[in-house]
Amino acid sequence: MTHLELRDLLVNRIGWFNDNIDSTLIVDSDNQTTISGRYFQDEHPLITLRNISSIMEYQPKSASSFNAYLKQLKERCILLVLSDVFKVSDLNDDVITHKEEILDNAILKRMALLIGESILTSTRSNRLEMMTKEFTQNLFYEINGSPQGVNNLNIPIHIGMRQRYAEEIDEIKFSLGQMNLLDTISYRVPNYKDVDKVFFT
């Protein structure tokens, strides 16, 4: 089984719901499908249809184009998770048979991280309008957490999305016997000195 085949097996486990924040952004029935009963918007307040619309390269001209983007996001997110869990691209057919739910939490966490990263890096004008300095700093720390080695009572310790996702991936790899095949997932170290200009070193 390839990653693409496994993606197709997982694509309907988690769905999107109509959050009623923007009446022009409607989720179709296919994207609402959720085998697990879980929805992406329940994972983090960042995940809203309006935020997703703001990171699209072009303003969606129709409900179909918006829903196509929602599907693309979901498929991309699943493939990112699979590449973090499995080193090889050709897997045993029964690799997650009867335990498909083991990847649900990682997919939800990766979607929140994907949306957050996309908001920070998007060049869309309506995204830029909401990017105040305070918003940028808060989102940066929500994604990356507290800088390591900080001992300051004025800065509460916060575990960021990246670390929570990495810990979830490690748990999955251990459960599926993949720990010996992959090193622990790692990311570039964030630059906390100039959040407005440089996000990573």
pLDDT in tens, 9-50: 999 999 999 988 888 899 999 999 999 999 999 999 989 999
- Whether 189 maps to a domain, the answer reads no
Q: Amino acid identity of 38?
A: R
pTM check: above 0.75: yes
Residue 44: inside a domain: yes
Question: Could you give the number of structural domains in the chain?
Answer: 1
Residues 83-110 have a mean pLDDT of 90
- Is residue 180 included in any domain, yes or no? no
Task: Say if 198 falls within a structural domain.
Answer: no
73 inside domain: yes
More reliable by pLDDT, 141 or 106: 106
Least confident of 10-24, 65-79, 90-104, 145-159: 145-159
Residue 201 has a pLDDT of 36
Mark 126-151 as b/e (b = at least 16 C-beta within 10 Å).
ebeeeeeeeebeebbbbbbbbeeeee
Range from 74-78, 88-92, 154-158, 181-185 carrying the lowest mean pLDDT: 181-185
Select the more confidently predicted residue: 97 or 116. Answer: 116
Of 148 and 201, more confident: 148
Query: 198 pLDDT exceeds 50?
Result: no
- In the predicted structure, residue 102 carries a pLDDT above the cut 60: yes
Token duo for residue 170: 């490690």
Do the domain assignments include residue 36? yes
Tell me, yes or no, whether 195 lies in a domain. Answer: no
Q: Which segment of 94-108, 113-127, 152-166, 175-189 scores lowest on mean pLDDT?
A: 175-189
> Is 194 a member of any domain?
no
The residue segments making up the domain with residue 36 are 3-175
> What residues pair up with 93 in beta bridges, in sequence order?
none
Among candidates 138, 145, 113, which has minimal Cα distance to 40?
Answer: 113
pLDDT at 182: 42
